[in-house]
């Protein structure tokens, strides 16, 4: 393995807004490749056909480019081991799955979703971890052949050793020992012919000659499955490195339910990519006090993969703000600062669309800041008085925000039409008039009862900013319950 040219990859799934955790893992791989003189590859893992969308793929690519990361191979630029999108590689996986089945290491499973649900519920009720019970392992070869020939839906699962444990050395955690009885008989090929993440991951890493796999620690428990697949195929596994998860200050997992996690949120609020990468890069290096402000090249120079911490990486927003302030003051000339401000204001056509909506609503230009300024604010400063002109009770406000927030997450393509349709549907489901739903959202999004049209404003601000503003408004509304306000 050490004699092979270093090749690492980032393999995001385009199923939602690009997460800062993706940038965190991508940066590690990028710095590793820079340090080792290797190649950094981008691959799109879209085996989840129901949630993956071209819009989210574009957002992933744009976000990573904004971060300043450059890849030598990927779906946008091609390369010698393409295609670099799993949905375009569908025909590559089945022969590997058949090889595993033919060698007796895999089996066809005809269990229905209903049976699997009942099985898992019974296991949970008995206090056992849910995993496949091996029913279809005992079907005869003749019956399997007949059921497949009849067109009966089925998946392919991998066999798991019944004794012992999987021992391997992780680049961060060192020696790891996971009992085989803790490992499930993973589905390798779904009924629709698409591979699962685990199967596609191994095959793609092999075909793309990936030498080191660096990813979040949540994947550590999946390593035994991946090592088995490599063994069943007679292939050499890469070196695994599992990085500590980014966490909130209270050590809880970084989650959009608690804090903003989308890269688009930080771009919208005017954070510099240099500052965000600087902030994330500090998790991977050792520095003395006063050395915090570092460029990408300086991060790569100080990067030492042999000296990584297993302690959780704390996403301290105050430290990020401090670093961003330093970059604004010390990292940019006056001309560069002006250029960045203009670029930020024009991001996603924000200023153009804002002015378009404002033109018919003002009598002089001096009214623009009050009318459209919310499009550029980091914090609206909401409090109970903000909702004084909204007729709903605090309890009704809480109900509206608690309903709207998760329902808006269901929107696949974030645009005016989809937002309006979803809010109208929410009003119908709640048995309320649309204006009752819209009134508090107007305040939550713009901070005012007089502003630009709500649906357009939400589309311009973007999903991640709207999510955070609704969360803050919901907290304000909750604080009003029982207070008489």
pLDDT of 41 reads 98
pLDDT interval class at 184 (50, 70, 90): very high
Mean pLDDT of the 420-426 span: 97
CATH superfamily of 7-88+247-324: HUPs (3.40.50.620)
pLDDT of 1 over the 70 cut: no
pLDDT of 73 over the 50 cut: yes
CATH number of 90-243: 3.40.50.620
Tens of pLDDT, residue by residue over 386-407, are 999 999 999 999 999 999 999 9
pLDDT of 196 reads 92
Mean pLDDT of the 140-159 span: 96
pLDDT of 31 reads 97
| Residue 226 labeled ligand binder | no
Tens of pLDDT, residue by residue over 224-243, are 999 999 999 999 999 999 99
Say whether 1 sits in a helix, a strand or coil.
coil
Q: Tell me whether the CATH fold assigned to 7-88+247-324 matches the one assigned to 369-483.
A: no
Are 23 and 275 in contact by the 8 Å Cβ rule? The answer is: no
pLDDT interval class at 308 (50, 70, 90): confident
Cβ-in-10-Å burial (0-12, 13-18, 19+) of 141 comes to exposed
265 C-beta neighbours (distance < 10 Å), count: 21
pLDDT of 294 reads 96
pLDDT of 64 over the 70 cut: yes
Q: What does the domain layout of the chain look like in residue ranges?
A: 7-88+247-324, 90-243, 369-483
DSSP 272: -
Report helix, strand and coil shares of the chain as percent, to nearest 5.
Answer: 55, 10, 35
Mean confidence (pLDDT) of the chain: 93
132 C-beta neighbours (distance < 10 Å), count: 19
* DSSP result, 239-263: EEEEEPPEE-TTSPBP-TTTS--BH
Q: Specify whether domain 369-483 bears CATH 1.10.10.350.
A: yes
Are 442 and 421 in contact by the 8 Å Cβ rule? The answer is: no
pLDDT interval class at 365 (50, 70, 90): very high
Strand partners, 177: 167
pLDDT of 258 over the 80 cut: no
Our CA dihedral for 283, 289, 294, 300, rounded to 10 degrees, sits at -50
Looking at 189-314, list the stretches that DSSP marks H as alpha helix, in order from N- to C-terminal side.
Answer: 197-207, 223-233, 263-268, 273-281, 296-302
pLDDT of 485 over the 70 cut: no
User: Is cis: bond before 83, omega within 30 of 0?
Assistant: yes
| Residue 138 labeled ligand binder | yes
Tens of pLDDT, residue by residue over 27-41, are 999 999 999 999 999
Cα distances (angstroms) measured from residue 98 to each of 82, 107, 255? 22, 10, 39
pLDDT of 289 reads 81
Two structure tokens written together for 30:
């990028």
The catalytic residue positions are 256
pLDDT of 256 reads 67
| Residue 19 labeled ligand binder | no
Two structure tokens written together for 419:
């937002």
CA distance 391 to 397: 10
pLDDT of 51 reads 81
């Amino acid at each position: 393995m050490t004699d092979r040219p270093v090749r690492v990859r980032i393999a995001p799934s385009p199923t939602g807004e690009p997460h800062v955790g993706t940038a965190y893992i991508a940066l590690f791989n990028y710095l590793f490749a820079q340090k080792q003189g290797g190649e950094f590859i981008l691959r799109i893992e879209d085996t989840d056909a129901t949630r993956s969308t071209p819009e989210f793929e574009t957002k992933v690519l744009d976000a990573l480019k904004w971060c300043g990361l450059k890849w030598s191979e990927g779906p946008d630029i091609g390369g010698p081991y393409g295609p670099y999108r799993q949905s375009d590689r569908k025909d590559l996986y089945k022969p590997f799955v058949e090889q595993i089945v033919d060698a007796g290491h895999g089996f066809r499973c005809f269990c229905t979703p209903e049976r699997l649900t009942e099985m898992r519920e019974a296991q949970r009720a008995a206090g056992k971890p849910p995993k496949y019970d091996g029913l279809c392992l005992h079907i005869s070869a003749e019956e399997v052949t007949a059921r497949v020939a009849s067109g009966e839906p089925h998946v392919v699962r991998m066999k798991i050793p019944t004794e012992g444990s999987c021992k391997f050395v992780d680049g961060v955690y060192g020696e790891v020992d996971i009992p085989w009885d803790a490992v499930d008989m993973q589905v390798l090929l779904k009924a629709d012919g698409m591979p699962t993440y685990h199967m596609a991951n191994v095959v793609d890493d092999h075909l793309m000659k990936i030498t080191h796999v660096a990813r979040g620690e949540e994947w550590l428990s999946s390593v035994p499955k991946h090592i088995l697949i490599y063994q069943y195929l007679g292939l050499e596994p890469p070196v695994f490195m599992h990085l500590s998860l980014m966490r909130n200050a209270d050590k809880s997992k970084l989650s959009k339910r608690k804090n903003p996690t989308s890269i688009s949120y930080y771009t919208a609020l005017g954070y510099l990519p240099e500052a965000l990468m600087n902030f994330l890069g500090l998790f991977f290096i050792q520095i003395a006090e006063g050395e915090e402000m570092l460029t990408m090249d300086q991060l790569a120079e100080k990067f030492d993969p042999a000296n990584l911490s297993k302690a959780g990486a704390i996403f301290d927003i105050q430290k990020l703000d401090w670093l961003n302030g330093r970059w604004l003051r010390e990292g940019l000339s006056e001309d560069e600062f002006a250029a960045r401000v203009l670029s930020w204001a024009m991001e996603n056509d924000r200023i153009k669309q804002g002015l378009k909506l404002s033109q018919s609503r003002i009598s002089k230009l001096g009214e623009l800041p009050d009318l459209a300024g919310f499009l550029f604010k980091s914090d609206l400063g909401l409090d109970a008085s903000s909702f004084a002109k909204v007729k709903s009770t605090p309890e009704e406000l809480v109900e509206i925000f608690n309903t709207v927030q998760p329902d808006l997450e269901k929107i696949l393509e974030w645009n005016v039409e989809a937002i309006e349709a979803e809010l109208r549907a929410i009003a119908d489901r709640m048995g309320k008039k649309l204006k009752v739903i819209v009134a508090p959202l107007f305040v939550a999004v713009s901070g005012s009862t007089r502003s630009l049209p709500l649906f357009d404003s939400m589309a311009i601000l973007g999903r991640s900013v709207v999510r955070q503003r609704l969360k803050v408004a919901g907290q304000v509304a909750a604080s009003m319950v029982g207070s008489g306000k």
